[in-house]
């Protein structure tokens, strides 16, 4: 038996304002693992669920989009969705394990080259980042054309206040060269999300693929809401900076992203059991 695996899931047992004060009620618990095999399977299942959730949200665009989670035992390697497989068809058995050079070490499918370029560069530059999500979405990409950050127009949008960046480097040029990955990876220091101008959205998590996936869906939703508000022609009322920071601290953390993903995971596990195949 291996020593207790020290993963962010174990070390960050952060509680939130939502924790029930009453004993004995059903409430999600962050899992603890005593071996790499169980933690690896857990991460792969959640990665698949994240892909299935993206499919439910209509975040697919042909073969574009890639989600990654580091292997718990070999953090220099990461699991990702296979190239040219629809998010709705991703399952545990068709995931691929790749290194930072884009070499597939496990799995039969090819890797998305643009995916490995950007993710590998960020994963390599930021050892603390364990999961990332990227897709070419309707509202995120539309908002990215404006080249500006999201405004705190709601409590939900405040979750991203001072916690995302707009990347202008390599904007609009398909990122298949390794140089492109290196140009954008510096920006991910200490933030959970990035809007890549003329391209789309990225999220990064130091906690879990569940947090990265939820915050990605949340960011897409916030971009949609801001575009809707701006389309009215009226100037929205902003949440003031101090309240935005308060909201971000309480409802914008990695743990809260993980917690938000739990009902999504449970729903998928019940309705799409083939994802475990
Ligand atoms: Zn892309």
Q: Give every CB contact of residue 138 below 8 A, 6+ residues apart in sequence.
A: 58, 224
pTM: 0.91
Average pLDDT of span 61-90? 96
Of 133-137, 179-183, 247-251, the poorest mean pLDDT is in: 179-183
179 or 44, greater pLDDT: 44
pLDDT category, 39, cuts 50, 70, 90?
A: very high
In the reported structure, the alpha carbon of residue 111 is separated from the centroid of ligand 1 by a whole-number distance in angstroms of 14
Range picked from 53-62, 97-106, 114-123, 176-185 for highest mean pLDDT: 53-62
In the reported structure, the alpha carbon of residue 219 is separated from the centroid of ligand 1 by a whole-number distance in angstroms of 16
In the reported structure, the alpha carbon of residue 225 is separated from the centroid of ligand 1 by a whole-number distance in angstroms of 22
| pLDDT at residue number 5 | 43
List Cα–Cα distances, 236 to 147, 153, 173, 230, 263, in angstroms. Answer: 19, 7, 32, 8, 31
In the reported structure, the alpha carbon of residue 61 is separated from the centroid of ligand 1 by a whole-number distance in angstroms of 10
| pLDDT at residue number 71 | 97
Of 57-66, 80-89, 122-131, 224-233, the poorest mean pLDDT is in: 122-131
The angle, 0 to 180 degrees and rounded to 10, between the axes of the packed helices 113-125 and 178-185 is 40
In the reported structure, the alpha carbon of residue 199 is separated from the centroid of ligand 1 by a whole-number distance in angstroms of 6
What is the number of other CB atoms lying within 10 angstroms of the CB of residue 28?
13
| pLDDT at residue number 177 | 54
Cα dihedral sign, 134-137-139-141:
positive
112 or 273, greater pLDDT: 273
The pLDDT mean for the chain works out to 90
Domains annotated on the chain, with CATH: 31-269 (3.40.225.10)
Q: Give every CB contact of residue 88 below 8 A, 6+ residues apart in sequence.
A: 51, 52, 55, 60
Q: What is the pLDDT of residues 227-259, one digit of tens each?
A: 999 999 999 999 999 999 999 999 999 999 999
- 135 SS3 class: strand
- 184 SS3 class: helix
What is the number of other CB atoms lying within 10 angstroms of the CB of residue 1?
5
Residue % of the chain over a pLDDT of 70: 89
In the reported structure, the alpha carbon of residue 247 is separated from the centroid of ligand 1 by a whole-number distance in angstroms of 30
In the reported structure, the alpha carbon of residue 63 is separated from the centroid of ligand 1 by a whole-number distance in angstroms of 10
CA R_g for the chain: 18
| pLDDT at residue number 133 | 95
Average pLDDT of span 126-143? 95
Of 184-188, 196-200, 209-213, 231-235, the poorest mean pLDDT is in: 184-188
In the reported structure, the alpha carbon of residue 276 is separated from the centroid of ligand 1 by a whole-number distance in angstroms of 27
Average pLDDT of span 76-81? 95
In the reported structure, the alpha carbon of residue 160 is separated from the centroid of ligand 1 by a whole-number distance in angstroms of 21
In the reported structure, the alpha carbon of residue 270 is separated from the centroid of ligand 1 by a whole-number distance in angstroms of 31
pLDDT category, 183, cuts 50, 70, 90?
A: low
Average pLDDT of span 200-229? 97
pLDDT category, 31, cuts 50, 70, 90?
A: very high
């Amino acid at each position: 038996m291996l020593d207790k695996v020290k993963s962010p899931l174990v070390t960050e047992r952060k509680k939130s304002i939502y924790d029930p004060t009453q004993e004995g009620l059903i409430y999600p618990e962050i899992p603890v693992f005593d071996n790499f095999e169980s933690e690896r399977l857990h991460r792969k299942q959640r990665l698949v669920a994240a892909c299935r959730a993206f499919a439910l949200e209509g975040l697919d665009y042909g073969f574009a989009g890639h989600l990654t989670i580091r292997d718990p035992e070999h953090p220099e390697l990461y699991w990702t969705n296979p190239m040219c497989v629809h998010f709705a068809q991703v399952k545990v058995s068709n995931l691929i394990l790749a290194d930072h050079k884009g070499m597939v070490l496990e799995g039969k499918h090819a890797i998305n080259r643009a995916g490995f370029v950007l993710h590998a560069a960020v994963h390599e530059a930021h050892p603390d980042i364990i999961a990332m999500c990227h897709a070419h979405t309707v509202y995120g990409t539309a908002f990215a054309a404006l080249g500006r950050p999201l405004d705190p127009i709601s409590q939900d949008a405040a979750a991203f206040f001072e916690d995302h960046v707009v990347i202008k480097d390599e904007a609009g040029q398909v990122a298949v060269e390794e140089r492109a990955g290196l140009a954008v990876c510096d920006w991910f220091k200490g933030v959970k999300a990035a809007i890549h101008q003329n391209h789309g959205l990225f999220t990064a998590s130091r906690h879990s693929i569940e947090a990265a996936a939820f915050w990605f869906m949340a960011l897409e939703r916030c971009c949609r809401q801001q575009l809707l508000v701006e389309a009215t022609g009226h100037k929205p009322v902003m949440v003031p900076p101090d309240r935005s920071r308060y909201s971000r601290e309480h409802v914008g953390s990695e743990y809260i992203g993980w917690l938000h993903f739990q009902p999504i995971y449970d729903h998928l596990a019940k309705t799409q059991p083939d994802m475990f195949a």
